[in-house]
Chains A and B, each alone.
Chain A
Amino acid sequence: MNLKQKARIYSPWVFHAHAGGCNNCDIEIAAVFSPRFDAERMGIKLKNNPRHADILLVTGPVPKQVESALKRIYEQTPNPKVVVAVGSCAIDCGPYNYDNGSENYALAGPVNKVIPVDVYIPGCPPRPEAIIHGLALALEQLALKR
């Protein structure tokens, strides 16, 4: 592991991409970076630009309107990058799919159909502690990539 990789793992920058959904996971992500749960003590910082980010936090079931924007955000983040799907909508469209399992006409599928996903965090919404655990798993994945 060289110096550049080591520095990246000790201060990963996070970009939060909201792709549809009910905003509940977004509130929990806001709580993660608040003083009470304080992910910034571990060096994880929230940024508003995908060009600065190492980790992408994606929430929501990806409607068709957002699909192209999400792809563009993924292309804008520099390599190496890790994508984290937060919440049950991002993993399997959650309650937005129909009861019998057929797909909703307005959705472009869960996040892993649009862009490759590395870590999944289930929960509706996941606890702030669960998101911190997911970010720790994402850092393991970031250490493996070059």
Chain B
Amino acid sequence: MVILIKELLKNIKQCITIDYPAGTWPGKKYSQIVAYGRGMHEFDEEKCVGCGACASMCSNKTIKLIDEEGKRTVSIYLGRCIFCGKCQDICPEKALKLTPKYELANIDKEKLYVKNSLDMAKCESCGKFIFTEKQINTVKNKVLENLKPETKEKVRFDMEKYLKLCPDCRKTLSFKLEIHPRKLY
């Protein structure tokens, strides 16, 4: 009973209702919307390589990779998203982040997309589009980082032939290029 009266007196002293856009408690330096709150997605366009780790990890199949006309688009449909934050945790380049922005309501259903498009690289022998150009460069750097200096030069020489081909051409051309197809995996 004493606790109840204390709580009632607290409520008379100060207003409980939160202001709408700022969301602050009156009289206290406490924001209702925290800085790490999960809201709208944001791409860091310089960092994103279009590897598709977020798409494979997405629990609700919200994130999709669409390849057309030499461009790969990573599209996130906010209408289906449950804002779990798995994509933010799995992203190897730390390019995808959830911002605390919460005002997502819209009149048009088609405007609920967050998109990022990247250029794709062509296969040198058959002309098919394989991966994004950024992804090839990051893979090259990451493999070369952990190698010993004796093997480094040889692997780099192999990779320059190898990474510009699509998976089918790698198998057929591996004898001509004098590279074993499983060497890099």
Q: B58 → chain A, closest Cβ, in Å?
A: 10
- Known interface pairs A95-B60, A129-B102, A132-B20. Does A124 touch B107 (Cβ–Cβ under 8 Å)? no
The answer, among A36, A92, A118, for a CB contact under 8 Å with B80, is A92
A40 to B, closest residue via Cβ = B17
| A: number of interface residues (CB 8 Å) | 30
Task: Judge whether A133 is part of the interface by a CB distance below 8 angstroms.
Answer: yes
| B: number of interface residues (CB 8 Å) | 24
Query: With the chains together, A92 CA to B33 CA distance in Å?
Result: 26
- Known interface pairs A91-B79, A130-B103. Does A41 touch B17 (Cβ–Cβ under 8 Å)? yes
The answer, among B33, B82, B107, B112, for a CB contact under 8 Å with A129, is B33
- Known interface pairs A94-B82, A124-B81. Does A130 touch B104 (Cβ–Cβ under 8 Å)? yes
Task: Judge whether A67 is part of the interface by a CB distance below 8 angstroms.
Answer: no
The answer, among B16, B33, B83, for a CB contact under 8 Å with A35, is B16
Query: With the chains together, A26 CA to B17 CA distance in Å?
Result: 20
Contact between A92 and B77, CB atoms less than 8 A apart: yes
**Chain B residues within 8 Å of A, Cβ to Cβ:** 16-18, 20, 23, 32-33, 60-61, 77-83, 102-107, 109, 112
What are 14 A-B pairs at a CB distance below 8 A?
Answer: A36-B18, A37-B17, A37-B18, A94-B60, A99-B61, A101-B61, A120-B109, A121-B104, A122-B78, A123-B83, A129-B23, A129-B32, A137-B105, A141-B107
